[in-house]
Chains A and B, each alone.
Chain A
Amino acid sequence: MRDVAVVGFAQTAYARSELELNETEMLMPVIHQALERGGIPQKEIGFTVSGSCDYLAGQPFAFVMALDAVGAWPPIRESHVEMDGAWALYEAWVRLQCGDIDSALVYAFGKSSLGDIRDVLTLQLDPYYTQPLWPDSVSMAALQARATLDAGKATEREMAEIAARSRRDARANAAAQVTGDFNADALLAERYISSPLRKHDCPPISDGAAAIVLAAGDLAQRVSKRPAWITGIDHRVEAHGLGMRDLTASASTRIAGERAGVGEGKVDVAELHAPFTHQEIILREALGLDDDVRVNPSGGALAANAVMVAGLTRIGEAAQRIIDGDANRVVAHATSGPCLQQNLVCVMEGRS
């Protein structure tokens, strides 16, 4: 395998509703910043790939307009996944394995505020048996939370403490949307939205964008003092039907984590894409993370959850710890689909 590293990462400050800027205007500064940090000019990028969802924008082929932010002329090598940007990064990593190009720009953007995100996400469900009943995304997650509580794998207090910790940590993250000092007792006194989930168990609705620059081999060494080398990356998907899966465990995360080599060394930091509090507990178990692993110092998806962006952001946040010299070995995780249906795990290391 060819060595590939994250050399640049940038993201917007996330907001409940970005009214001022269209998607391209929102994306452009982020792309420029990531390229600048990665030390590779836009015109020298070998491959460009993005992740987004047209249903968020309410327009078919909405992702094409975002290409304006890239400067796709003369024609560039470009691709798009109708998924979280983490899967776009996977495609870029695979593309870089071909060996004929040395760099890639990966970006993701999403305005969850334009429509009703809980209804928009219903459209990813099986259209024969499930979607016509309009279970919304929070209710689906609540079914998983209840199953996890019933299995004795979590308590509502642990869930509240995850929310409090995430939003406390997010105070140090300038991009975060929901931050503050919350008390688990006070959170537990709140009413349920979809029982057993309370508001604090759910992610905020966020608009935003993120971009990552990847470089291979010598180029990465040249442009970055301390590249975040990808030592393993894998993704797995589970059955579509919710009732066919064990919702209290994440087999796909476990396998992806094993294939990415999570357990082959000490993990300093893990950025887990857990939009709902109970999912962090499931993911920790699936990845076999020890209690001393620092999880989501950025605040995670509970602090900002721009749909289609939040997974790529986990990779960026984890990589940044290495680039900044704050960690040597990190794990990033991204999820897609209802109740952690599909999961991607990326392990990165610093070498200098």
Chain B
Amino acid sequence: MPDSLTAPHVLEYPYTRSTGEVIGRFFTGLKERRILGARTTEGHVLVPPQEYDPETGAELSDLIEVGETGVVTTWTWIAEPRPKHLLQKPFAFALVKLDGADTAMLHMVDTGDPSVMHTGMRVRVRWASDLIGDITDIACFEPEVA
């Protein structure tokens, strides 16, 4: 009886996704270094903007600009980046609540040093050098006061 055979297999799909109006406007905003959030009927500002209010299901289309600085609400330090991580040096994944927003967005924070990281720390967007209108136009966040 032979041992069970193994073989490498790659699953690869070149998906293209339609953004629709809300996500499309948000991505277009990033290209102009502007961050947009969606305002709900209760006046909450969701960043990144959602097409529907998760509380009520109401359609959202009122997009307003929020700040490019904000506060870390939770974080995790990645001492050893994995192959698919976009920052190939130690960094933090974090939820960042931007000034003017009521919800936090998941992104990366580059401090170079885990001892700098703390919940409540102020951070600022580091823009990508090449803006293409996608979530990665925000290269990552960095401490507001370097």
Contact = CB atoms under 8 A, between A and B. Distances in A.
Interface of A: 19-21, 55, 58-59, 115, 118-119, 122, 127-130, 132-136, 139-140, 142-147, 150, 191-192, 194-197, 239-244, 247
A180 B145 CA distance: 47
A58 B9 contact: yes
Contact of A21 (B4, B75, B104, B107): B4
Given A133-B107, A143-B95, A241 B119 contact: no
Given A20-B4, A58-B9, A132-B136, A196 B108 contact: no
Given A132-B134, A133-B135, A242 B106 contact: yes
B135 A134 contact: no
Contacts, number: 107
B85 A244 contact: no
B76 A146 contact: yes
B93 interface: yes
B54 A195 contact: no
Interface size range on B against A: 35 or more
A93 B50 CA distance: 34
A147 B93 CA distance: 13
Contacts of A132: 134-136
Contacts of B94: 143
A144 to B, nearest CB: 8
Contacts of A59: 11
26 contacts: A19-B3, A19-B4, A128-B19, A128-B23, A128-B135, A129-B48, A129-B106, A129-B135, A133-B86, A134-B85, A134-B86, A142-B76, A143-B74, A143-B76, A143-B94, A192-B79, A240-B54, A241-B48, A241-B50, A241-B54, A241-B103, A243-B73, A243-B95, A243-B103, A243-B104, A244-B50
B119 A139 contact: no
Nearest to B17: A127
Nearest to B87: A133
Nearest to A147: B74
B17 to A, nearest CB: 6
Contacts of A140: 93
Nearest to B140: A133
B93 A135 contact: yes
B11 A119 contact: no
A196 B84 CA distance: 21
B107 to A, nearest CB: 7
Contacts of A129: 23, 48, 105-106, 135
B138 to A, nearest CB: 9
Given A134-B85, A243-B95, A243-B105, A194 B77 contact: yes
A133 B140 CA distance: 10
Contacts of A55: 11
Among the interface residues A115, A144, A194, which one has the most CB atoms of the partner chain B within 10 A? A194
Interface in B92-146: 93-95, 97, 103-108, 114, 119, 134-136
A289 B75 CA distance: 29
A207 to B, nearest CB: 12
Interface in B31-89: 46, 48, 50, 54, 73-79, 82, 84-86
A164 to B, nearest CB: 22
A122 B23 CA distance: 20
A150 B78 CA distance: 19
B105 to A, nearest CB: 5
Interface string B13-35: 00101010001000000000000
A145 B4 CA distance: 39
Given A142-B76, A143-B74, A133 B95 contact: no
Contact of B78 (A130, A147, A194, A196): A194
B95 A242 contact: yes
Among the interface residues B77, B79, B94, which one has the most CB atoms of the partner chain A within 10 A? B77
Contacts of B78: 139, 194
Contact of A58 (B11, B50, B93, B108): B11
Nearest to A194: B76
B106 A130 contact: yes
A146 B75 contact: yes
B11 to A, nearest CB: 5
B84 A119 contact: yes
Nearest to B118: A150
Nearest to A242: B106
